[in-house]
């Protein structure tokens, strides 16, 4: 199960035990976002999670291990 938390965190949980598989935090590129700290969740396609960050970036995350795709 994948959850998001403010401002730019994604957490992968074991749905049975609530144990954390991984946590990723992406850094903000601006000190004060224009619209406050909001969170819109993630989308998934295959083994990739997509998250729009609060500072208007789109990140792709490997759903299995929590690494940023392409890095």
pLDDT in tens, 3-61: 988 778 899 999 999 899 999 987 766 666 666 667 778 999 999 999 988 777 889 99
pLDDT at position 6: 79
pLDDT at position 12: 95
Residue 17 lies in a domain: yes
Residue 10 lies in a domain: yes
Domain count, the chain: 1
Residue 68 lies in a domain: no
Residue 29 lies in a domain: yes
Rounded alpha-carbon distances, angstroms, from residue 51 to 16, 34, 40, 46, 56: 24, 18, 8, 14, 10
């Amino acid at each position: 199960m994948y959850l998001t938390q403010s401002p730019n965190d994604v957490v992968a949980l074991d749905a049975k035990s609530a144990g954390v598989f991984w946590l990723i935090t992406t850094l903000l590129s601006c000190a004060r976002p224009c619209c406050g700290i909001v969170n819109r969740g993630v989308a998934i396609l295959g083994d990739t999670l997509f998250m729009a960050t609060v500072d208007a970036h789109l990140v792709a995350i490997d759903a299995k291990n929590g690494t940023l795709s392409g890095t």
